[in-house]
Structure 1
Amino acid sequence: MRRWRQYDRHHATGESVSPQATTSSDLTGLFEGANTCTLTPDTTQGPYYFDADKIRSDIREDRQGSRLRLAIKVQDSETCRPLSNAVVEIWHCDAAGLYSGAEAQSTGGGQPAGPRPEGGAPPSGAMPPGPGGGDGGDMADLVPTDDKRYLRGAQVTNADGIVEFTTIWPGWYRGRTVHIHAMVHVSNSRVLTTQVMFEEALNAEVCAAQPYAAHTGRDTFNDNDNIFEETMLLKITEDGDGHLGAIVFSADSDKDGR
């Protein structure tokens, strides 16, 4: 696991790692009611997590899809105060259900060893059951099998605890509703591993258009997804030719269970 605190103001490549978020009025309004100070639920990291080594706000690369601007505010679950200088990672599949670094596995072309993926029926090509079984958050990090890194990235929270990403609306894969994975690091610790999701009316609207419409047979929705919780829903508003989504993560920064 990367020692995130070693990343000061510049990445090893010279790429800026300054927080990209702002406290503009649109974000302030969205964060109101986007969540409370209740501890955000931990979930499995899933079978496709690895350290992508990409400190950036725009994670789209060449992936086509409906533009999504994602704003995340991280706060301490006990004090409700913003957590600055925390690292927030996100990763998700593309419009066809593929994960970068794991394209073979997410299309059924490979079967890496490890526990089964998160909840319910596994996606095509997912990891088979391991010794621990279950769908807890104890999966080993994936060893990438290709050099793609689209739809993966990390940002550092600003003084208000906010990060912003530009991405696309995720697609879907068998056994899971539409979702984005997220992980919060404070110093050397992973203090939160969770997921964010979308209202089904919006999923239906986005998935009816190309390139999403080319991927047919969706079998899992919010109401039959084994991980979905209402508190994971993004607060969404229209944003030009796409959408703006916001959510507050209340993280247990000292890992005392509160």
Structure 2
Amino acid sequence: MRLSFFFVTAACGLALAVPATDRRDASIVSGRAFYAELVNNTCVLAPEVPMANYVSNPPMRTDVSDNQPGVPFLVDIGIVNTATCQALSNVMVEIWSTNAAGQFSSTSLRGATMTNSNGIAEFKTIFPGFTSDSANHLSFLVRSSSSRSSPVIHQGRLFFTDPWTDMIAKSANYTQNTNSRITNDEDPNFAKANENGFNSIINIVSIGDDWADPQGIIGDITVGVNP
């Protein structure tokens, strides 16, 4: 079953990350709105992880879901300049991930957008299905400006907690995934992505009351880069 996207209006001035155990009632969801400010004000340089399954020149768009079946996922990626500890605005962020069956497409679930004045790039996608060669993750890169030809200033992977991946793997559409499951501790790229005090795990909030089959999830993470 394909699920509709739901969005929560965040309170202005939110300073702390929402706990992974939090959830939102779908009845309060209305309109498109992302976090007004960076949810996590970390100023730690994120380690780089080698790119894989990258396709150049993805379409400029915030909705990369392409009507793919799966759990709707709204993710806010905040970019911070570690030299100044200030939000980095008007830089290009590209993301790509797998479908519910853990397969990559050359077109679907890929896209790019600019960070806003608060350093946030927001995407609508689906929670990715796990692959057999890495822990479950969302790949991304950051360019130095809004131009496609601008240099890449960061490339990496954003991960999920193992309980979240295991729970959603039992949801509709994800049960068709035949890949072998690799946990975070088994993936050397997860260890690399979490070096030097950086936390590469996306903060997750569930929409709705059914943990076994959430109506959607909202995620946020702040990434420190050196432009």
Q: Which residue of 1 aligns with 2:47?
A: 41
Deviation of residue 177 (structure 1)? Answer: 1.0
Give distance in 2, aligned partners of 1:200 and 1:23: 27
- Contact 2:142 2:155 (C-alpha < 8 Å) held by counterparts: yes
- Contact 2:102 2:179 (C-alpha < 8 Å) held by counterparts: no
Q: Which residue of 1 aligns with 2:112?
A: 154
Does the alignment pair 1:236 with 2:204? yes
Q: Which residue of 2 aligns with 1:98?
A: 103
**Runs of 4+ in structure 1 over 6 Å off:** none
RMSD: 2.0
Give distance in 2, aligned partners of 1:39 and 1:242: 30
Give distance in 1, aligned partners of 2:167 and 2:41: 24
Q: Which residue of 2 aligns with 1:218?
A: 180
Consecutive unaligned residues of structure 2, counting only runs of 5 or more, are 1-7, 18-37, 209-214
Q: Deviations over 1:199-245 (max 9, x none)?
A: 11111110011211111353311110111145110011113421111
Query: What TM-score do the two structures reach when normalised by structure 1?
Result: 0.66
Give distance in 2, aligned partners of 1:207 and 1:232: 21
Where 1:184 maps in the other structure, the secondary structure is strand
Give distance in 1, aligned partners of 2:180 and 2:218: 24
Where 2:157 maps in the other structure, the secondary structure is strand
Taking every aligned residue pair, what percent have the same amino acid on both sides?
29
- Contact 2:130 2:181 (C-alpha < 8 Å) held by counterparts: no
Choose between structure 1 and 2: higher strand proportion: 2
Deviation of residue 51 (structure 1)? Answer: 1.8
Q: Deviations over 1:112-150 (max 9, x none)?
A: xxxxxxxxxxxxxxxxxxxxxxxxxxxxxxxxxxxxx11
Give distance in 2, aligned partners of 1:40 and 1:84: 17
- Contact 1:35 1:247 (C-alpha < 8 Å) held by counterparts: no
Give distance in 1, aligned partners of 2:220 and 2:13: 7
Q: Which residue of 2 aligns with 1:227?
A: 189
Larger gyration radius, structure 1 or structure 2: 1
Where 1:223 maps in the other structure, the secondary structure is helix
Consecutive unaligned residues of structure 1, counting only runs of 5 or more, are 1-21, 102-148, 254-258
- Contact 1:69 1:164 (C-alpha < 8 Å) held by counterparts: yes
